[in-house]
A and B are shown apart, each in its own frame.
Chain A
Amino acid sequence: MYRYDEFDHAFVAERVEQFRGQVARRVAGELSEDEFKPLRLMNGLYLQLHAYMLRVAIPYGTLSAKQMRKLAHIARTYDRGYGHFTTRQNIQYNWPKLGDVPAILDELADVEMHAIQTSGNCIRNTTADPLAGVAADEIDDPRVHAEIIRQWSTLHPEFSFLPRKFKIAVTGSPNDRAVTRGHDIGLRMHRDLQGKPGFEVMVGGGQGRTPIMAKTIRNFLPVDHLLSYLEAVLRVYNQLGRRDNIYKARIKILVQSEGAENFAEMVEAEWLKIRDNALDLPVEERDRIAAYFAPPQYENLSDACPELQAAMAAEPRFAAWVDSNVGDHKQSGYAIATISLKPHGGIPGDASADQMEAVATLAETFGFGELRVSYKQNLILPDVPKADLLALWRALDGLDLGTANAGRISDIIACPGLDYCNLANARSIPIAQRISERFTDLRREADIGEISLNISGCINACAHHHVANIGILGVNKNGAEFYQITLGGVANENAAVGAIIGPAFDEWRIANAVEDIVDTYLSQRRPDEAFIDTYQRVGPQPFKEKLYGPDQARQAG
């Protein structure tokens, strides 16, 4: 893991002091709320429906056991004993008091964490493949580059007041677990013919009311030029992005109006002028950062693990968990374990302080004291010896963290919705709870198999419903909460936006509608065919017929 040096420490401490001064000036009335707002946003502090919300960055989703304990301590001391892990590899606290925030930021700085640029019209927390460094299919470790981007983008003098928020995601693997095409800039690693690593640069992805997947503007950018190239993209956007209408201000709209080719030419022209300006890091500095991400001291373990086979045969619930929540590690004898924050009927992404502390200890017992936070709002233990999986699962099961549903229908991504958010049309959390309660039978979930279901409380699409196999969007119909369904979204390397299936359902019928969709899939699928493949093969019609009846489905077209 990256560790702060004296310069990183000093920088974050100065930032906390600066914010302490800003809070004091706000409290003293020297700053108006209008003037304070962008300052607090750049430090991750929102005003929600009932209280402030503080969003803390977990850069590229990696954190240590010590950091996790600090997050637990903050939840317990300054909040109501829990935190909410988000799709953007952040944690949100829903109830901090304004006056406490500088103290919280001090506590975070003690463990090398911060809330810088988790909000505001600046370059946000850079996200990455949560399996970076351990996935069997990886080309190169994206965390090194994400950390380089984190440092470069921190209080950037030129790009702190962009037309709109700006999100960058990096993956080092051909199987995209970071939805790179859904970001303002997506970076996907490849190797050139000489074996040198570089990035495919994709620009202009985003969701909200205009969901667009990013276009590739450069097939291969050598890693040495990462920062100068990003600087060129940002400079073009900062000058030409629209500022007259916040719904048209994201870079996706600029790329769309200019055309991706034309936009690419503008970036290349700018880049040619700055690529040799010492913006890019010298190799030693890159190596210094890379050294922190060197693999831990793995033991020499055999991949065949008879204990595991025996335990799975003896304990079906454990076997189900291994099936859904355990993935292949690049080191033989090790496995990657997903800790589901989606107990049936629970609040997706929430963890209590006690759970966070317990998980920190498990990360030390069954690994090297490191944890990951995933796009799916789950936690991941990256380095579990296979022979320890049973002991790990027993411990998790006792903490209500052992649900065997990773990648299954109850592994729902949900935004806070109307329970917290002042932009919401409808509640998301209770709908997620109600739907997941329909799928408590693990055998049924396993039978349904790989599928994604995401719920956003409004068109801002914080839960990425557009790229879910089943997307649910809260809409407001004459003051009542309704839910519109999209089908066919995909969030991996073949990212695609789903299509609206028909009229929205009210809150009492939405869970039935989900079951109807699932039943339609089960009746239509071929052996071993996942939901999305069936949907792509048969199209929306059978789903429409099931949901709305044959006559209406014909009308709806």
Chain B
Amino acid sequence: MALIKHGKLVDDIWHETDDFADVTTLGPVIVDLDTWRRHGAEILALGGRLGLRLKPGQTPDLIAADLHHFDLIALEFAKFTDGRAYSQARLLRERHGFTGELRASGDVLRDQLSFMLRCGFDSFSVATDHQAMAILEAVNEFAHWYQPALDRAATIPNLRRRARAASNDAASGCAATWAY
């Protein structure tokens, strides 16, 4: 496996397990919702860094109250055609204010990367280094987009407004000169 985080290939410090017995020994660990629900208090008592995995269909509302415990949330693209994780990601970021690492895993492919980035994912777990490099190429295929999203880039409607404001300024500047 290879991991891309904030646009770079990095080592993955996280371990995944759904078995509570492993949690004590692994270091930073990502558990599933079930394990968290059954052993949450015990896991917290261990004091390590904690991540949570949500399956497609598990709405972020289920963990809204617990979010401050997690440094990472992993969302899964069971197939890249299953787009539920895009909504989960936006809800986590925009509705619930999650600021930790938001990781995409599963069927993560080059041609979906910009959608994922725009929905608030900032790390991507892919099969091979080669795939990871190919994915990174895709980031700059588009300069601007129409919709407001989590990349916080200026949208096309925003840029239009700026361009209009600039030309209005220019126009009023012109009028001022003319008045002389």
Contacts and interface: CB of A to CB of B under 8 A. Distances in A.
A38 to B, nearest CB: 6
Contacts of B146: 11, 151-152, 154-155
Main secondary structure of the interface of A (DSSP, over half): helix
Nearest to A42: B111
A10 B143 contact: yes
A14 B81 contact: no
A278 B161 CA distance: 14
- Taking residues whose C-beta sits less than 8 angstroms from the other chain, chain B's interface range is 35 or more
A162 B87 CA distance: 10
A11 B94 CA distance: 26
A158 B142 contact: no
Interface string A335-376: 000000000000000000000000000000000000000000
Contacts of B81: 38, 121, 161
B115 A160 contact: yes
B95 A273 contact: yes
Nearest to A235: B87
B97 interface: no
Contacts of A278: 148
A288 interface: yes
B61 to A, nearest CB: 10
A420 to B, nearest CB: 25
A11 B144 contact: yes
Interface string A1-43: 0000101101100110110001000000000000100110000
Nearest to B164: A284
Contacts of B133: none
Contacts of B148: 277-279
B9 interface: no
Interface string B65-94: 000000000000000111110111010001
A157 B95 contact: no
A241 B82 CA distance: 11
Interface string B34-75: 000000000000000000000001010000000000000000
A158 B160 contact: no
B145 A155 contact: yes
Contacts of A277: 94, 148
B147 A11 contact: no
Contacts of A5: 160
B147 A156 contact: yes
Contacts of B88: 239
A39 B111 contact: yes
Given A39-B111, A285-B160, A159 B141 contact: no
Contacts of B87: 158, 235, 238-239
Nearest to B109: A35
Interface in A125-172: 151-152, 154-162
Contacts of B143: 10, 14
A160 B147 contact: no
A281 interface: yes
A195 interface: no
Contacts of B109: 35
A281 B146 CA distance: 11
A17 B156 contact: no
Contact of B160 (A7, A35, A152): A7
Interface of A: 5, 7-8, 10-11, 14-15, 17-18, 22, 35, 38-39, 121, 151-152, 154-162, 235, 238-239, 243, 273, 277-279, 281-282, 284-285, 288
5 contacts: A11-B156, A121-B81, A155-B145, A161-B80, A288-B160
